[in-house]
Amino acid sequence: MCNHGCGQAFAHLRTVVRIDILSAVPRLLDSWFNESILERAQKKGLAEVHVHDLRDWSTDKHRRLDDYPFGGGAGMVMTVEPIHRAIAELKAQRDYGEVIYLCPDGQLLDQPMANELSLKGNLILLCGHYKGVDERVREHLITREVSIGDYVLSGGELAAAVVSDAVIRLLPGVLGDETSALSDSFQDGLVSPPDYTRPAEYQGWKVPDVLLSGHQANIDAWRHQQALERTRQRRPGLLGEAGVQDQ
């Protein structure tokens, strides 16, 4: 998918972060990586995203990836062979920090995990499909299992896109403002404070005076208090995780 000169990394980066996504329906991901920030990250040479069709590693004459589960039951299961062949071929070409399976019962994606993954280097993301994958894939080939929420999707493609987005936007040089990602919700264990832009007044709706004061210390204090209050109202469970006492 990356055809924007991704091999040319900025001089201050050691390597380009590469994400390989293994999918039974790769076309679902076409638009996600060819627009906006993720496209610009690839054009800048900061990231590579390669979406692979798992059927290319199938030895079945009909390129099937699934079969009936042993023991009976509803649904089909992704077979181990094409997944193993795909992962083995990719790993023979380069090192990977993680081989991730996107599944409903994985570890829930959060900002600390995204931060960690952004430092891992190359990643393989395996998208589940049908009823899931043969358990031997999870036992022998996967290093981490990740979920984006307690619900079931038709496949892991949306989850792979979410993980990729959360990771790539953290890479140095991807966002226009290097400090932008550091002020996002959850980076400090709190949700973000409210933001305003011009005009300062619209239909009688006014921007808080402190933001127009030019007094940075007061602005920072106001933002922190607003972040605390919003977290207390909307995500109170985060306060304990961030070591903040609810007052």
Q: 48: how many CB neighbours lie within 10 A of its CB?
A: 21
State the amino acid at position 27 in one-letter form: R
- Delimiting residues of CATH 3.40.1280.10 domain(s) in the chain: 17-168
Per-residue b or e along 164-198, where b marks 16 or more CB atoms closer than 10 Å to that residue's CB: bbbbbbbbebbbeeeeebeebbbebbbbbbeeeee
State the amino acid at position 94 in one-letter form: R
Residue 218 pLDDT = 97
Residue 245 pLDDT = 55
Rounded to whole angstroms, the Cα distance separating 89 from 206 reads: 58
Residue 35 pLDDT = 87
CATH code for residues 185-241: 1.10.1270.20
Q: Which CATH architecture has domain 17-168?
A: 3-Layer(aba) Sandwich (3.40)
Residue 38, both tokens: 């993720």
How do the pLDDT tens digits run along the chain, 247 residues long? 544 344 333 334 446 899 999 999 999 998 889 888 899 999 999 999 999 999 999 999 999 999 999 999 899 999 999 999 999 999 999 999 999 999 999 999 999 999 999 999 999 999 999 889 999 999 999 999 999 999 999 999 999 999 999 999 999 989 865 545 554 545 668 888 999 999 999 999 999 999 999 999 999 999 999 999 999 999 999 997 655 555 4
Asked if the bond preceding 199 is cis, omega within 30° of 0, the reply is yes
Question: Any residues with CB less than 8 A from the CB of 86 and at least 6 apart, and which?
Answer: 22, 52, 54, 56, 57
- Which DSSP state fits 198? S
Residue 192 pLDDT = 87
Rounded to whole angstroms, the Cα distance separating 57 from 15 reads: 28
- Delimiting residues of CATH 1.10.1270.20 domain(s) in the chain: 185-241
Question: Any residues with CB less than 8 A from the CB of 91 and at least 6 apart, and which?
Answer: 99, 124
Output the pTM of the full model. Answer: 0.82
Question: Angle formed by the axes of helices 36-43 and 157-168, to 10°?
Answer: 60
Residue 178 pLDDT = 53
